[in-house]
Structure 1
Amino acid sequence: MKRGQHCAQCPLISKCDYIGRLEIQPFISNSSNALKLENFPGGSETFETVLKFCYDLPVDFSPDNIAALRCASEFLEMIEELEDGNLISKTEAFLTFVVLSSWKDTITVLKSCENLSSWAENLQIVRRCCDSIAWKASKDDRTSEDAAPNQESWWFNDVATFRIDHFIRIISAIRAKGTRAEIIGKCIIEYAKKWLSGMDVEIEGLRGYGHEKYNLQFSIFSGKKKESSGHNKEQKTIIETLISIIPPQPYAVSYKFMLQLLKMAMMYYVSPALATELEKRVSMVLEDAEEKR
């Protein structure tokens, strides 16, 4: 924690098994001693809320703080054996019966999990949020199968706000529920537009639109390899991940999108295996177009 908390020992011990096992000396108000909790989920602000709970002061649960409080209660081992209605059970109930029934609240909680490292993962908060989002999104897809083919689903924008590791978890869960390939593909395109710089730039170098095959000529190999940086590594990771999760169906994403993604894959020197796979898909589309001419 970033700052110490001066507090009476007994209320913490009565509700926090972790504190009770520390065998710490009672805190004195004018003492410089402080309870140090390394890597405490949610930091000082969350600990202050836990203190309020321990002192039976009113605590407001919300989608913004519930994931951190659930992780903090697990850290402090605030179990039912110490007191009925302890913080673990209360936060679990709020997550299960309030948050996961609401699309907006689930999105908010999953976003907050990005700052809770492994705690939110180990407590299955991330998995449960992803499953809830996937269920609601796939239900919408099933009920709108007769909608116009180019109509975008309402949930694309919200799902596209997550960092790439959570996005792939959501897409995997949505796919497992039988959502159509073209819907998943459109969501991937939406994500790429939001997170990849230059995805909206027109592709140049498309030649030979006639009886001859297309001849793709990219002018991106001139110049030096991009210097390694945090931004470039993030872009490379996103590109590699998106390539790996594109549905295998040929109609899942547009030809233009695959060309744009291939160009960026070359710019950021992605895994050769993934780049080759994307090149094969582009070639198959070209060959199919030639056969239909």
Structure 2
Amino acid sequence: MAVCCDLEVDVNGEETFMVDKKVIASYCGRLSKLFGKSTGSARNLKVIFNDFPGGAENFELLSRFCYNNGRIDVTPSNISFLHSGSLFMEMNSSVSGTPNLLEETEKSLKGMSFWAWSELLITIKQCQDLLPFPSSSGSLEKCVDSLIGRMATSSEPSPCPSTSSPDSSGVRFSCDTGSTESLKNSCSRATWWFEDLLVLSTNLVEMVIKSMVLRKFDHSIISRFIFYYQKSKCYTGTPDEKRNVVETVIDMLYILDWNSVSFKSLFGILRVSLNLNIRKCSRTKLESMIGSQMDQATLDNMLIPSPYGMNYLYNVNLVLRFLKAFLHGGISQTSPTQLRKVASLMDLYIAEVAPDPCLKASKFLALTMALPDSARDSYDRIYRATDMYLQVHTGLSEEEKMKICCAMNYEKLSSEACTHLSQNRKFPSKSAVQALMSQQIKLKSLVKATNKTKSYIDSPSGVIEIGRKGKKNESDSPTNNEKLRAHLQGMQWRVTELEKICLKMQTQMTKIMKSRVSGHSTPRSLPKLCS
């Protein structure tokens, strides 16, 4: 059959092909419709494709099919190109009994479940090179489904000879330090595919992860792969490429169960993202995940340097957002143990940032009041941090000092802290008075409890009633009596000590008040000590 080159085809501006219009149109419905049934001898026809899937390479592959009387070997290495190209060129109807390329490729795709793992990887790699076209063809979804199905059912190490264990510290640690050989084998079976999927683009990895979540894969395994992928991809690449990887990784982690996500690894991503200026929505997601596990943080995690160009030392605003995320579910959703852990951590953090001369009073107050009062059994650390802050920030007004002191619960200050506060001239006088009053209230409660216990013990039947709920037990009475009297003596000694402390504080406060009030004003009388 004589062949003439009467059609010029420009493929995506990459390359121009001279082909036989009749031969190509007999297999391609798109060109057949374009030319109609015209039998004219018009020459120098030209067709321009700007979005041909696979570009010039794929057009050449389809041309070979047409020139070879509709015969071509459909293999995993070319099926993605042939399927997308046949869809684009509408090679789905037989003209005069010509072979149907689209039908052939779809028949091959149905047998994908019988392919080798390496063939699946080749095909899915080609699919991502053809994006976004394969998304509309359905071939990409078929590849992903087959890939995930193989990952879910395989119980052996990687079928692909090139596969190796993930070179990730987290993965290697969990696999290599197992206490038994079965644990190592189990880890190997769960993670053998990590290295192979590194060839996938971020868009395709996100698609795979979402499908894995729908298939009920173990979220801890998924999160380990995501961190491994992020670490591998961020090792090299431009800032824009790294930013895209980090944002995609955060989006993938966000759809998992957060309890299965490594807190340490989240901070690793945070350190990378701080230098990449990621999107606000991605940053908010990352902060929410970190904040939800705030009780696992350490002081080193929290001491994050301030953003470039800021004069304060540490990124206090970021820590405040962590705390907001931690409390997002409400106090009822947070256990008392978690609250106390976070409060203890924040006490250490506040003590570290307090000496910063550039830390504003509003930020210091926000830190001290971020957690509810129930989170702390003692406010001694807050007092010491406040003392350091006032020592550095000497220019604060009395009003500003009082606002800062409002964060303290004086009833939860120890006697030693109250004594120190009463003598501390950096604190406003009202704060010292409040500390003294709280100690007096404690002393009254203790004296009342002591007197009640003493009168009960001194009663004829008191000791015996304590023993067995009113049933007399002569053998236990002397022992109980001795223990209770010893306890009473201890309480009485404590009362005496507190009275001495309060007397000392009252004397000191009188001196302070006299020195602080003006000559025209009359100092308010101090609260009386309980008798």
CA deviations 1:203-238 (Å, max 9, x no partner) are xxxxxxxxxxxxxxxxxxxxxxxxxxx932332222
Q: Say yes or no: does 1:180 pair with 2:218.
A: yes
8 Å CA contact 1:63–1:99 kept in 2: the answer is no
Residues 67, 112 of structure 1: 8 Å contact kept: yes
Structure 2 unaligned residues grouped into runs of 5+: 1-10, 158-181, 298-336, 342-531
Q: How far is the alpha carbon of 1:281 from its aligned partner?
A: 3.9
* Deviation at residue 136 of structure 1 after TM alignment: 1.4
What is the alpha-carbon distance in structure 2 between the residues aligned to residue 135 and residue 34 of structure 1? 45
Instruction: Classify the secondary structure of the residue corresponding to 1:45.
Output: helix
Deviation at 1:34, TM superposition (A): 4.0
Q: Which is bigger in relative contact order (C-alpha 8 A, separation at least 6)?
A: 1
Cα pair distance change 1:288/1:163, threshold 3 Å: farther
Match of 1:22 in 2: 34
Q: Could you tell me which amino acid in structure 2 is paired with residue 158 of structure 1? A: D
Q: For 1:1-293, list aligned pairs within 5 A.
A: 1=11, 2-23=14-35, 33-56=45-68, 58-82=71-95, 83=97, 85-98=99-112, 101-140=115-154, 147-148=183-184, 150-151=187-188, 153-197=191-235, 231-246=238-253, 247-250=256-259, 252-270=260-278, 271=280, 272-286=283-297
Task: Give the CA RMSD over aligned residues.
Answer: 3.1
Q: Secondary structure at the match of 2:17?
A: coil
Q: Quick one: which amino acid aligns to residue 229 of structure 2?
A: Y
Displacement of 1:26 in angstroms is: 7.7
8 A contact 2:23–2:66 mirrored in 1 = yes
Instruction: Tell me if structure 2 keeps the 8 A contact 1:262–1:278.
Output: no
Of stretches 58-67 and 162-171 in structure 1, the one that deviates more from structure 2 is: 58-67
How far the C-alpha of 1:91 sits from its partner, in A, is: 1.4
Cα distance in 2 between the residues matched to 1:27 and 1:159: 53
The separation in 2 between residues aligned to 1:78 and 1:237, in whole angstroms, is: 37
Higher helix share: 2
Aligned amino acid, residue 76 of structure 1: M
Q: Determine if contact 1:41/1:71 at 8 Å carries over to the other structure.
A: yes
Change (3 A) 1:180 1:194: same
3-state DSSP of counterpart to 2:19? coil
Which residue identity is paired with 2:137? L
Normalised to the residue count of structure 1, the TM-score between the two structures is 0.75
Which has the larger displacement, 173-182 or 56-65? 56-65
* Deviation at residue 114 of structure 1 after TM alignment: 2.4
- Asked whether the equivalents of residues 121 and 127 of structure 1 are also in contact (C-alpha less than 8 Å), the reply is yes
Distance 1:155 1:163 in 2: 15
Between Structure 1 and Structure 2, whose CA radius of gyration is higher? 2
CA positional deviation for 1:164: 0.8
Query: Identity rate of aligned residues, in percent?
Result: 21
Query: Aligned residue for 2:375?
Result: none
Relative distance call for 1:55 and 1:243 in structure 2 (3 A) is same
Q: Aligned pair count? A: 255
Shift of 1:155: 0.8
Deviation at 1:32, TM superposition (A): 5.5
Deviates more, 1:37-46 or 1:148-157: 148-157
